[in-house]
């Protein structure tokens, strides 16, 4: 197998080729490594490369096949993880320099272990906003991640390396985290598939936290099929993570069912007012493809976003307070002031925001008595140029970095599962914007079915890049 063939194949294609003997896992990982080494000087998606481990894991897959053993579902498929996931023997940087003094991880994060059990091959760790506090991955310590579709533009954040690596064809699957939009924003700006599962669906054990009460982990992928398969293998009860609330694995079922029998609505109001015309266009195109005709109001979206800001700042600042007191000069200049201000917030603000969250979640969940799937743009704009400070959103000047989460924060604060589907509107110079496919808590299967329908209709898909 050569590099060109590797780049033309999805994660599902690679798994099939290895399972049938068309290619060996060793051949696939060497093609993957060659492409990363040839392209990452321009993208800057990787902060660490675990090639020795990858070759060992690929060799183990090939040995299993040579013995005639049944192969697990992702056998030989390369992937990479945001550098807040523990990788055994490696220091978990979480986008910082402060963490360089930490001891190497004693074992893999729970989700990395799940991927290994599924046969996937880990090739490295990915760039991110420091401690996941940001939407742009303009990391001062490790350099900005560049958007593969236009190297002058951001990849989004905080999982910017995870989105860019898939968009650049470096790996077919990556893992990231999403507190306020950190999977969906890079998915939108880089034009790849992303899944933020239900809050509490996947174990977070072995990942560096940002906001314990909102953090989610999830996959990025090059197709809905790859995304769904990654989601299935990542699942599993974890009694050692009190934030993991599942007791059994959810089967995605048949993606071919699409939206048959589903009630699909389009979010208006806040999600229309805070989206530019191209972002509105992707929502309308998705609605048309899925047969959604009714506009739906998401309750208290602006209040949900405001409360999410308070909770994020307070928990994030409290987590890092010891280092902020003694090593503030080593923090990312783009986030250190927000961490400090969060640590100084009155406790009463935090308590009020969390009390509101319970009411808010109940109001949101009531929507799903009438609707199965809801649609909204993922970002108000396509990817801004690196260094952009202000966005024009329908004539209003908004600060760039926090405003990229305008449309994602209200949804993650309620804990709903979301698939970000890559679309390509007019008026963006060929840059993508995703649509969010939102389902009721614990119904990732419905969001993935709707995503599959958009993919089959040709409305949502990746576009190859030449680097």
Contacts of 344 (CB under 8 A, 6+ apart): 317
The two structure tokens encoding residue 123:
């090739």
How far apart, in Å, do the first and last CA atoms of the chain sit?
Answer: 20
Q: Would you list the DSSP string of 299-366?
A: TTHHHHHHHHHHHHHHHHHHHTHHHHHHHGGGS-TTTHHHHHHHHTS-HHHHHHHHHHHHHHHHHHHH
Cα dihedral: 46, 52, 58, 61 (round 10): -130
What is the 8-class DSSP label of residue 287?
H
- Is residue 175 within 8 A of residue 218, CB to CB? The reply is yes
Pick the catalytic residue from 39, 50, 158, 188: 158
Q: Under a CB-based contact definition with an 8 Å cutoff, are residues 218 and 231 in contact?
A: yes
- Among 39, 50, 82, 187, the one annotated catalytic: 82
Find residue 418's DSSP bridge partners.
Answer: 196, 438
Q: Catalytic one among 182, 314, 318, 382?
A: 182
- Are 190 and 432 within 8 A, CB to CB? yes
Q: Is 82 a catalytic residue?
A: yes
* 308 contact partners, CB below 8 Å, separation of at least 6: 180, 214, 353, 409, 410, 412, 413
DSSP E strands, 361-451: 373-377, 390-393, 396-399, 418-423, 433-439
Helix, strand, or coil (residue 264) = strand
- Give one DSSP letter per residue of 159-172, joined into a string: SHHHHHHHHTTS-S
The encoded tokens of residue 235 equal: 């699942």
Q: Cβ neighbours of residue 53 under 8 Å, at least 6 residues apart?
A: 87, 122
* Active site positions, annotated: 82, 158, 182
């Amino acid at each position: 197998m050569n590099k060109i063939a590797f780049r033309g194949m999805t994660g599902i294609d690679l798994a099939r080729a290895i399972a049938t003997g068309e290619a060996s896992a060793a051949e696939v990982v060497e093609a993957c490594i060659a492409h990363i080494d040839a392209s990452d000087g321009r993208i800057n998606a990787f902060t660490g490369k675990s090639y020795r481990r990858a070759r060992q894991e690929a060799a183990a897959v090939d040995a299993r096949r040579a013995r005639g053993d049944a192969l697990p579902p992702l056998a030989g498929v390369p992937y990479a993880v945001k550098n807040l996931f523990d990788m055994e023997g490696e220091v978990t940087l979480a986008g910082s320099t402060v963490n360089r003094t930490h001891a190497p991880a004693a074992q893999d994060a729970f989700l990395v272990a799940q991927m290994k059990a599924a046969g996937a091959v880990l090739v490295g760790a990915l760039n991110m906003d420091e401690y996941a506090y940001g939407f742009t991955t303009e990391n001062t310590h490790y350099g900005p991640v560049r958007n593969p579709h236009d190297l002058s533009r951001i990849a989004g954040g905080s999982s910017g390396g995870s989105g860019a690596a898939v968009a650049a064809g470096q790996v077919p699957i990556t893992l990231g985290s999403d507190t306020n939009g950190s999977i969906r924003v890079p998915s939108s700006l880089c034009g790849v598939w992303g899944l933020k599962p239900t809050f509490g669906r996947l174990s977070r054990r072995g990942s560096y936290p940002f906001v314990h009460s909102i953090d989610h982990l999830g996959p990025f992928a090059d197709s809905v099929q790859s995304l769904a398969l990654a989601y299935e293998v990542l699942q599993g009860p974890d009694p050692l993570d009190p934030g993991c609330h599942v007791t059994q694995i959810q089967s995605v079922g048949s993606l071919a069912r699409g939206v048959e029998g589903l009630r699909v609505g389009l979010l208006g109001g806040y999600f229309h007012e805070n989206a530019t015309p191209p972002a509105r266009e992707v929502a309308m195109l998705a609605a048309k493809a899925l047969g959604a005709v009714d506009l739906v109001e998401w309750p208290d979206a602006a209040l949900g976003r405001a409360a999410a800001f308070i909770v994020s700042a307070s928990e994030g600042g409290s987590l890092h307070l010891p280092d902020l007191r003694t090593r503030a000069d080593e923090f990312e200049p783009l986030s250190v002031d927000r961490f400090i201000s969060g640590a100084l917030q009155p406790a009463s603000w935090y308590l009020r925001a969390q009390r509101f969250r319970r009411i808010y979640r109940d109001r949101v969940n009531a929507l799903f008595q009438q609707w199965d799937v809801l649609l909204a743009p993922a970002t108000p704009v396509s990817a801004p140029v690196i260094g952009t400070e202000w966005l024009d959103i329908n004539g209003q000047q908004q600060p760039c970095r926090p405003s990229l989460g305008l449309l994602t924060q209200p949804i993650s604060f309620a804990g709903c599962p979301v698939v970000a589907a890559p679309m390509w509107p007019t008026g963006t110079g060929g840059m993508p914007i995703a649509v969010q496919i939102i389902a009721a808590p614990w119904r990732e299967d419905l969001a993935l079915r709707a995503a599959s329908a958009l993919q089959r209709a040709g409305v949502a898909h990746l576009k190859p890049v030449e680097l």
